[in-house]
Amino acid sequence: MTELVEGNEMILRDADRWDGHAESLDSRFAISMAHDKRSIPACLARYSANLKAGVLFTIILSIQAYAWELRANAESRPNAAPRPNIVILYADDMGYGDLGVQNPDSKIPTPNLDRLAREGTRLTDAHSSSGVCTPSRYAMLMGRYHWRKFHGIVNSFDPPVLDQERTTLAELVRAQGYNTACIGKWHLGWEWAAIQRAPGKPANAKEGYPPDAFDWSKPIPGGPLAHGFDDYFGDDVPNFPPYAWFENDRVITEPTVPLVNGTPTAEGGWETRPGPAVKDWDFWAVMPKLTDRAVEWIEHQNAEKPFFLYFPFTSPHAPIIPTEEFVGRSKANGYGDFMVQTDDAVGRVLRALDEKGFTDNTLVIFSSDNGPEQYAYARLNKFDHRSMGPLRGLKRDLYEGGHRVPCIVRWPGMIHKERVCDDLISQIDWYATIAALLQVEIPDGNAEDSFNQWPLLTGTGPGARTSVVHNTNANGYAIRHGDWVLIEAKSGAVTKVPEWFESKFGYSPNAYDGELYNLKQDLAQKINLYGEFPERVQELSTLLKTIRTSGTPR
């Protein structure tokens, strides 16, 4: 990253692109940048000088943290890049239409996410790498398509998928002096073999491993601490064994009993896998406890050292288990209530940042790892709420609903508030974007599919990405380029679609080998143009092959 801001002309030209949101430009940002044709660090240094001169009292509070950081950086680092705190909030299975501000007909209030969107930029064409959990997380933390390595999820007691020889996003920022933590759903595997008493699969697959199959007193290698996080707290995967709290690389309380599901969930199945559990394990405590710990971790940070918090939620993924406080708070069944609870967790994190005075120096990124789970069809039928919003498809699907996800970024004064950005972006891009922001080179052999989207996020330049590959299973790929998406499969659906849905919303069976849509004209993917535009199909197919075999073109 060099010249992020190129002066008044760029500001004005870009203002035209903001769909009438030019008036929402943060004046602090606009005024100072309009008179300063230098990079962000230079602008910040200028702020610092002004501070010393006792000028610009009105902005002192908001830029104090930058000035302190710059001084610290100047002493300890060769460059003086800004070092904002970075918070990634990652919902699990939250649909595009579950974000209130994005769905005028939503039955789920999301006031905290709506606030975040007002205070930042909402990206309407943002994608997870996969339609399921583990691969999307891998791709985001490695800046690399998951399908270059694997497709499915990490199952109970599977080994890690992150590459030991590569640099994760957490390792990248930790090398820049960040405190790092992962609090929440890990789901990227551990070296369970290191604590397993006898090798091999469980004797009875239906019952899973007995509690004494592992030595729970030992540390478990290969988890968050092995991949750049100073701290971990969570229960790894909430619906997989062990059902236990982890602190860093150990379970806090030994799981001594096999899991028994008791009370029904608020909606849908438990979706739990068999295996060891802590006695009287309380599923309902998971999201509240994770949120408590995330808030506490933020409270322990200070302005001297920047921090990176990766907070992958366990909600609104199944089991759908809103706590009492949230029951009945939506008009979209138990899931809606659990989504309200998810939004409340976002609010608690935002308040913690406010209370510590971190808000103005913190980049917050909110998104979801894939589209909504299968229950979304029944929810639509019974409660008239579209978790997938205007999109076709759900979790796992190659259709937009599988991977086009809610996405909000906020950094007051740096990223424009009240902006809606329709440019293409992938979660894979956070890696190169953050590297550019911190002015660090991406280590060789890393993040090969990641684009620096800092100019797009700040409105100082165009989006860096023209294509993105969509994939969940090994036998189905789709390629997006510009307004067009080609699905190289007979159907983009992996999750079963009920007949009533297809007939009610005008979807008909596909007569061709694949599907081609123009998303600008047909976001709902109803009109398959595969037969009508064979050259376009060929072009996109060739591009997909190139990206799969030769890498992402730059």
Binding site for Ca ion (CB under 5 A): 92-93, 133, 235-237, 240, 369-370
- Nearer to Ca ion (CB atom), residue 120 or residue 131: 131
- Nearer to Ca ion (CB atom), residue 241 or residue 461: 241
Task: Find the shortest distance in angstroms from Cβ 208 to Ca ion.
Answer: 12
Going by C-alpha positions, the residue among 170, 131, 184 that lies closest to residue 153 is 131
Task: Find the shortest distance in angstroms from Cβ 204 to Ca ion.
Answer: 20
The pairing of beta strand 179-185 with beta strand 307-312: parallel
With contact defined as beta carbons under 8 Å apart, do 188 and 138 qualify? yes
Give CA separation, 418 vs 115, 410, 425, in Å.
10, 10, 18
Instruction: Return the H-helix or E-strand segment holding 484.
Output: strand 484-488
Task: Find the shortest distance in angstroms from Cβ 405 to Ca ion.
Answer: 10
Task: Find the shortest distance in angstroms from Cβ 238 to Ca ion.
Answer: 6
Amino acid at 537: V
Give CA separation, 296 vs 81, 238, 473, in Å.
28, 21, 38
- Nearer to Ca ion (CB atom), residue 236 or residue 397: 236
Task: Find the shortest distance in angstroms from Cβ 269 to Ca ion.
Answer: 15
- Cα 387 from Cα 221, distance rounded (Å): 37
- Nearer to Ca ion (CB atom), residue 405 or residue 457: 405
- Nearer to Ca ion (CB atom), residue 51 or residue 94: 94
Task: Find the shortest distance in angstroms from Cβ 384 to Ca ion.
Answer: 24
Instruction: Return the H-helix or E-strand segment holding 207.
Output: none
- Nearer to Ca ion (CB atom), residue 279 or residue 300: 279
Beta bridge partners of 298: none
- Cα 120 from Cα 420, distance rounded (Å): 9
- Nearer to Ca ion (CB atom), residue 259 or residue 524: 259
Going by C-alpha positions, the residue among 540, 516, 539 that lies closest to residue 529 is 516
Q: Assign residue 190 a region: left if phi > 0, alpha if psi is -120 to 50, beta otherwise?
A: beta
Give the chain's radius of gyration (CA, Å): 23
Going by C-alpha positions, the residue among 239, 277, 207 that lies closest to residue 92 is 239
- Residues whose CB is less than 8 angstroms from the CB of residue 411 and which lie 6 or more positions away in sequence, other chains included: 84, 120, 362, 363, 364
- Cα 79 from Cα 42, distance rounded (Å): 11
- Residues whose CB is less than 8 angstroms from the CB of residue 538 and which lie 6 or more positions away in sequence, other chains included: none
- Nearer to Ca ion (CB atom), residue 235 or residue 267: 235
- Cα 82 from Cα 412, distance rounded (Å): 14
Task: Find the shortest distance in angstroms from Cβ 388 to Ca ion.
Answer: 14
Find out whether the peptide bond into 498 is cis, omega within 30 degrees of 0: no
Task: Find the shortest distance in angstroms from Cβ 371 to Ca ion.
Answer: 9
Task: Find the shortest distance in angstroms from Cβ 379 to Ca ion.
Answer: 17
Task: Find the shortest distance in angstroms from Cβ 114 to Ca ion.
Answer: 22
Structure tokens at 207: 């019952």
With contact defined as beta carbons under 8 Å apart, do 411 and 362 qualify? yes
- Nearer to Ca ion (CB atom), residue 333 or residue 368: 368
- Nearer to Ca ion (CB atom), residue 306 or residue 406: 406
Closest-by-Cβ residue to Ca ion is 133
